[in-house]
Amino acid sequence: MERNNLIIGGHYVAPKSGAFEEVKSPFDNRVVGEVATANLDDVEAAIAAAVIGFEKWRRTPAHERFAIMLKAAALADERQEEMAQIISAENGKSLVEARGEASRSGEIMRLAAYEGAQLYGETLPLDANKGTGFDKVGFTIKQPVGVVVAITPFNYPALLVLHKLAPALAAGNSVVLKPARSTPLTAIALAQCFIDAGLPDGVLSVITGAGGLLGDALVSDKRVRKVSFTGSTRTGEHIARVAGVKKLSLELGASGPVVVLKDADIEYAANSISLGGYINAGQVCISAQRVIVEESIMGDFLAALQPKVEAIKVGDPSAADTKVGTLISKAEADRVAQSIRTAVADGATLLTGGEQDGTVIQPAIVTNVDPYSAFAQDELFGPAVAVSSARDVTHAIELANSTIYGLGAGVFTNNMNSAIQAMREIESGVVHINWTQLWRADLMPYGGMKSSGIGKEGLRSAIAEMTEVKTVIMHGQAWN
């Protein structure tokens, strides 16, 4: 079993505390790795290295950054199977899902490399300003913000790390990465791709350990100019309070609605929801958690959905036929199982699933759910969908907008008018027509409204968030 030191400025460094902790599989509790436990002295060392590394990296020509990013992408492609095995082992997701996640790593790096080399500015029509002639020229240039702190969750330990690391590095920033405590090994393996590709000293650090100890020190440091965080709304609100004056991108919680209208293709909608509600054991912020079905088709819809959900094979993440693996911990599985029991006690009906075996929960369909109950309103982050009824499209949109969240939504309809009404009126950062919200292209703008966060990810959008626009005015003298 490998013992992983901290990465400080691209070099492996023993933690100041001398402490390490085990990383265990959520499926069988076996030890899959060991990582350093950082303290505040390590945070200081990482930020100090990032300050120095930034001065070097921001002065590196874009074509050189581009070449390093492409080399890192090639290494990620070569190490794809190794990465998938790490993801599955420490996260508990099935190898099928882990391989899918690992396969996108190199492409994210390549997309970021391209966008980072395309930092165009614009010219300013200063002569349109009253009293100004042709003796002045104005334009903008884009520059990296500086030191970026990236804090990532456990559920997609490769993709969510890369959606922060890759655009930050491609734009010329230095990064201090704090991965989830339960899934640090994937982050370390990805960082190694950048290091092996020739990233200069100081540009990248990976700090592992307790977020409660390290988080405030990282985000509040005045040398940090940008914080990119994915996690709970509660933690995001705390970061907003303590970070100070700097750029923030916060991708937070959700309780994503899927609307199924009477003119939808019911079989198609049921198939989509059988995927969108249960991939990664429902541990996705854009999971299809709330299904809002027009009353007249409720029976037909449930008849189509139930057999598809019951056919999902769950269990050992390493088994070839497993489609959905475990939750991240026994405590999380207990929480989800209790949420289902509470919903039933409050009047909902458990149509299928919900049985718990350690960290594994059988995919559940809970019907007759009060759309204003906690089971619908709060983020579940587990393999269950809450099914509620709506009178018509307007009522369905009202229910879709009833939570504090607004990250992703799906609408199934074959009526153009209903589709346009839904895309205009649903309060969500991303709206999918005839699919659930659990779909993301790495290049598209991605982020939420309301308590689901601020800022956008997606490579072009993220690079815009990780650069500053500087306006330059050149003053000449009138020549006539």
How far apart are alpha carbons 250 and 381 in whole angstroms?
18
Count of C-beta atoms within a 10 Å radius of residue 444: 14
Between the alpha carbon of residue 219 and those of residues 59, 222, 305, 309, the distances in Å are 25, 8, 44, 41
What is the b/e burial string over 452-463, where b = at least 16 CB atoms within 10 angstroms of the residue's CB? bbebbbbbbbbb
Nearest Cα to 448, choosing from 257, 281, 274, 282? 257
Active site residues: 251, 285
Instruction: Give the 3-state secondary structure of 258-323.
Output: EEECCCCCHHHHHHHHHHHCCHHHHCCCCCCCEEEEEHHHHHHHHHHHHHHHHCCCECCCCCCCCC
CA angle in degrees (0–180, nearest 5) for 353-401-459:
85
CA-CA distance, 39 to 337, in Å (whole number)? Answer: 35
- Assigned token pair, 26: 């959520």
DSSP reduced 3-state for 152: coil
Q: Are strands 290-294 and 257-260 parallel, antiparallel or unpaired?
A: parallel
- Interatomic CA distance for residues 412 and 137, integer angstroms: 51
Kindly state the tokens that stand for 311. Answer: 């056919």
Q: Element (H or E) spanning 101, and its range?
A: helix 95-103
Count of residues for the chain?
Answer: 480
The whole-angstrom separation of Cα 145 and Cα 467 is: 5
DSSP result, 355-385: -EETTEE--EEEES--TTSHHHHS---SSEE
* Residue 469 host element (H or E): strand 467-475
